[in-house]
Structure 1
Amino acid sequence: MTTGHGTDGGAFDLPYSVIRNLTSPDEKANGVQTWFANVNARDILVLGTQDNLRSYIAEHKPSKRNSVHKQIENTIQELPDRFINRNSGITITCTACEIDDNKKIARLANASIINGAQTQGELKRYFAAEDGEAAEFMVRAEIIMEPLHEQIVEIAIARNTATSVKSVSQAGARGYLKDLKEAIEKALPGETLQMSETDEIGPHVLNTQAVLQWTRLLMPAKLIGAAAARNVPYKQGGKCLADFSSWAQDANTDAEAKKRYDFTVAMAPIAIAEYRHWEQHDGWNDQRLHEYGKKSDKPHGGRPVRRDKTTRKVNWVAPGILFPIMSALSAFVKEKNGAWVLEKPSLFKESEIIRRAVQQFRSDTVNREVALMGRSEQAYDALSIYTDTIAAVLQQQE
């Protein structure tokens, strides 16, 4: 039945019992056509999801099955004849569609499910478990024929927005993260960047928003704009992704957007390495930062550090403490021979900025509240005074 599917021009033959063309005049003007069809549930099992923003969430980790998955499963098992009414169905995109009503087959080019991957995943699970005793029932499919693949991406994003698809999926689908991913993989062999919400973040898959937050902290004021608050990456992490997507989109028409986009791509591997450096810096071990509160098993105001259970050395520091340090380092970021670099001068003492960070953490303003320090403009300003002063002295000597 299936002769192939994907974005390589392959054809997919989708049998149907009934199909109706409901193309609107607006769609027709754009070269788009839309059909609604009743199809056998088995016939959508091998459809690809390459243009979807996310694949079946529980495909690689069954524990990720949530209440929605279980409701789909319950309807399949107990009321399969009602499935077509109780399930929202699937949306299929293709770049060409030929309807053969004699054979009752829709021949689709470059077919992909863009909405309904969770439904398809639960159907696969059901038919695999029931083997030869599974019920036969119908699913309703919307088939959208859109000749332009970039428009298919936009349709997929729009159709998934109502189900809270994270922005990282949208940025990945639009290609905004491609250069960033390649830069990280080149500089940090064996590591890659999260491109979708279904990518499991781990030792080798970096959290996209976190990477953009760290890199934004290193962006010099003259590039990001002097009026931009230093604490934005902590207070509005999602804005770092939104801004980067905007810069990527406008890079070909806006010189400032291109400079910020190029900076982020170039500096991301440096920001990753720098954040890790400070997170496990030996200087934290001398600061008497308590992993737990004195009277409970929970630290007051959020845990500032974690320690290795064997060595008792600090191996993690809260972002609320590290972000002001990373922001202060932006004073040492500059363009050199056409490339962005971070050069910490010999006058700069890492132990001193750690001391100042802890001093801010214990100040009356922050009062040992990790989250409060991450948001405190005073903490960012206090640490930046140290690095800005050094940078100004060195500039005068040049």
Structure 2
Amino acid sequence: MNATQKANSYPFRYHSCRNISSPEDEVAGRRVYSGHAPASSVLELEDNENVREYLVDAKGKQRRSPTLVHQAIRKTLMDQPDQFSILNGGMVVVARSATVDDKERTLHLARPSIINGSQTQGELRRYFEKHGNHPDHIPSIKFEVIVTDDDALIAEISIARNFQNDVRAISIAGRRGQLDDLEVAIQKGFPSAKLRKAETDLTSDGDFLDTEKIIQVIFALMPEHLLRKLDVAEPSAKVFTYSQKTRCLKLYQRVVEENELADVYDYCLDLAPVAWKLYERWKAHQGFKGTRIRSIEREDGRIADVPDGVIFPILAAHTAFVRQDDAGTWGLHPPNAFSDAELIESAKQAYMEIADHNPWNMGKSRACYSTLLQITSIYAKLGTSL
């Protein structure tokens, strides 16, 4: 590639890149590259060859609300950007020609275009803009670059790669009626609430509550002896409740289906409205003012949103206060001596000293969960001894 060609190409920087062309590709004069790249590499790519532009802000069209796909991408970027490359499907790009510069770790692409991944690109742009183009963590993204000058083939690839027919676990659970009792339970604390029971139920407009998140929170508060009945290894380590929402949903489905887990099911239904109220309270807890936790969103001087990575160890710490009353109903019973302020201060220290100022690190750190649980356990013991 001469200087003029290099100047007219798109410099696609990568972490890793392999030529994975098949024998058929080589015979047809195509090449296919695959690897991982910093997400910043895809922000300025065109998507003129894609059959689906970014749907939230499609050019020349009425702005649309975020779909479940957009919401899922946003949640990953907000809560687990370090896992983005394995949770996201990645991006497919076509180019008319490509030159690999291994020394600079750069693919010089001629007339590149996204053909699958415009929604991902749109959400990545939103993520970078939200952080002033300098996020604390620049996520990696999987990529596939198909090099061909066959315009007809490019059109066919774009159509084929955008064909989707995905039925997620939430839709299956909803169709089986496994979420109906949970919805009734939630309505005891939120009378007009409806749970999302299908892929088409959107939470962005406030019509449906996030069912998977509710179940995650319920498991975050679940006592150890109940978790042991589900064969959860190391039940005191509640890390999975933050990072594995699909696992939580499947565990809940098992609780619904197996008769011998009836007491666990009772706990889930009793705690559902209590757990969700606790989650919502901590998500906008004004006690975080002055903590200087930079990942917390603030609006007009008020705490607007605390990241789930900070919230889940706090929620799990409340397990020490979960018990049944004389009537056998599960509830949250913190002693009068307990105050949120001490838990917030401990969470701040864990965030800074253990999690290195990263909320997703905190949400996945057993040490953070253990540290906060030690504090609430002390209060729980004092309460029972009074």
TM range (shorter): 0.5 to 0.7
2:246 partner letter:
G
2:238 partner letter:
R
1:218 partner letter:
L
Give the deviation of 1:237 after TM superposition.
1.5
Does structure 2 conserve the Cα–Cα contact (< 8 Å) formed by 1:220 and 1:330?
yes
Tell me, what secondary structure is at the counterpart of 1:346? coil
The whole-number CA distance in structure 2 between the counterparts of 1:384 and 1:329 is 7
Aligned to 1:258, which of 253, 259, 262? Answer: 262
Aligned to 2:224, which of 218, 221, 225? Answer: 221
Does structure 1 conserve the Cα–Cα contact (< 8 Å) formed by 2:68 and 2:202?
no
Unaligned runs of 5+ in 2: 1-63, 70-163
Aligned to 1:237, which of 209, 230, 245? Answer: 245
Shift of the 185–396 alpha-carbon distance from structure 1 to 2, 3 Å rule, reads closer
Give the deviation of 1:62 after TM superposition.
9.4
Establish whether residue 268 from structure 1 lines up as the match of residue 272 from structure 2.
yes
Q: Which runs of 4+ in 1 moved over 3 A?
A: 61-66
Tell me, what secondary structure is at the counterpart of 2:297? strand
Q: 1:306 — aligned with what?
A: 297
Aligned to 2:356, which of 344, 364, 367? Answer: 367
TM-score (norm: length of structure 2): 0.55
Counterparts of residues 244-393 of structure 1 (less than 5 Å): 244-250=252-258, 252=259, 254=260, 257-290=261-294, 304-308=295-299, 311-336=300-325, 337-363=327-353, 365-393=354-382
Give the deviation of 1:65 after TM superposition.
12
Aligned to 2:185, which of 162, 180, 183? Answer: 183
Deviation string, structure 1 residues 299-327 (Cα, Å, up to 9, x no partner): xxxxx21111xx22111100000000000
Query: RCO (CA 8 Å, sep 6+): is it higher in 1 or 2?
Result: 2
The whole-number CA distance in structure 2 between the counterparts of 1:64 and 1:329 is 33
User: Is the radius of gyration larger for structure 1 or structure 2?
Assistant: 1
The whole-number CA distance in structure 2 between the counterparts of 1:279 and 1:233 is 16
Does structure 1 conserve the Cα–Cα contact (< 8 Å) formed by 2:320 and 2:377?
yes
2:351 partner letter:
F
Shift of the 190–307 alpha-carbon distance from structure 1 to 2, 3 Å rule, reads same
Does structure 2 conserve the Cα–Cα contact (< 8 Å) formed by 1:180 and 1:265?
yes
Shift of the 198–383 alpha-carbon distance from structure 1 to 2, 3 Å rule, reads same
Does structure 2 conserve the Cα–Cα contact (< 8 Å) formed by 1:230 and 1:380?
yes
Does structure 2 conserve the Cα–Cα contact (< 8 Å) formed by 1:280 and 1:314?
yes
Does structure 2 conserve the Cα–Cα contact (< 8 Å) formed by 1:190 and 1:204?
no
Shift of the 344–62 alpha-carbon distance from structure 1 to 2, 3 Å rule, reads closer
Deviation string, structure 1 residues 211-248 (Cα, Å, up to 9, x no partner): 00111111111221283231111121211100000110
The whole-number CA distance in structure 1 between the counterparts of 2:212 and 2:379 is 30
2:214 partner letter:
V
Does structure 1 conserve the Cα–Cα contact (< 8 Å) formed by 2:322 and 2:330?
yes
Shift of the 317–230 alpha-carbon distance from structure 1 to 2, 3 Å rule, reads same
Tell me, what secondary structure is at the counterpart of 1:307? strand
The whole-number CA distance in structure 1 between the counterparts of 2:277 and 2:359 is 22
Instruction: Report the more deviating stretch, 217-226 or 257-266.
Output: 217-226
Shift of the 244–373 alpha-carbon distance from structure 1 to 2, 3 Å rule, reads same
The whole-number CA distance in structure 1 between the counterparts of 2:215 and 2:66 is 29
Tell me, what secondary structure is at the counterpart of 1:193? coil
Unaligned runs of 5+ in 1: 1-60, 67-161, 291-303
Shift of the 166–223 alpha-carbon distance from structure 1 to 2, 3 Å rule, reads same
Identity among equivalent pairs (%): 30
1:211 partner letter:
I
